[in-house]
Chains A and B, each alone.
Chain A
Amino acid sequence: MSDKGGTVKKLMYINRKAPYGTIYALESLEVVLIGAAFDQNISLAFIDDGVYQLAKGQNTEALGVKNFSPTYKALGDYDINKIYVEKESLQARGLNQDDLMALTYEDEDDDWAEKNSIHIVSTKEMSDILEQQDVVFSF
């Protein structure tokens, strides 16, 4: 789609909280999905307990709330494919990329090849990425 009539901004959504217990993670995800309609340059960051939002095998039965983690897998369909996870936050929680869901997108410019959306980055790299954004939303 074209950007006629407006400029494309770089928007980043930062997620720092565990998926359940507060409404932040779900609200952030919903805002991301709604905002995806506006054709902006969107990226997502997962820092601190926020990395748990992408954890594999979530089960919310005992909590009695909806497990919305499968919805992250739809992000690729919404052309959201820049997902940055802070390495230090994973390490501090004894996690690595294998503990996270595989999030992918299909690259329209490369014969719809399936590509990985998740990038594990250091704190330093994350701050560089943040530096480049026009707008940052913090959840």
Chain B
Amino acid sequence: MALDVGGKSVETDEEGYLTNRDDWDEEVAKAIAVAEGLDMSNNHWDVVNFLREYYEEYQIAPAVRVLTKAIGKKLGKDKGNSKYLYELFPYGPAKQACKIAGLPKPTGCV
């Protein structure tokens, strides 16, 4: 599959995850978000940027439980809960936010 980003074609797998992580930039992220039916707010970006930092450091996308705890620690208790994260990313904060962040599907996600 391919995603059209401002006339440039970016390759994805059949579920919409980027084939090459290096293809990612903010425009690509916005295009994936549009395909997911999401309008990216600053709160969305906070989560996406957090995931990218986590991946950079640990070479994995964290499980939802780990993400929730870490977000709470970094961005405040009011954001470190699954209700908040699911409101931002209705199809699953780990799955959907990772896709927009250009990361592979989290380990353990089916």
Contacts and interface: CB of A to CB of B under 8 A. Distances in A.
Interface residues of A, number: 14
Interface in B57-108: 57-60, 62-63, 65-66, 69-70, 107-108
Interface string A68-101: 1011011001100000000000000000000000
A55 interface: no
A67 B60 CA distance: 11
Contacts, number: 33
A34 interface: yes
B98 to A, nearest CB: 15
Nearest to B64: A37
Q: Give the interface SS of chain A, mostly helix, strand, loop or mixed.
A: helix
Contact of B63 (A36, A66, A70, A71): A36
A33 interface: yes
B107 A77 contact: no
B107 A33 contact: yes
Given A74-B66, A78-B66, A37 B60 contact: no
17 contacts: A30-B108, A33-B60, A33-B63, A33-B108, A34-B108, A37-B108, A66-B59, A70-B58, A70-B59, A71-B58, A71-B60, A73-B58, A74-B66, A77-B62, A77-B70, A78-B63, A78-B66
Interface of B: 57-60, 62-63, 65-66, 69-70, 107-108
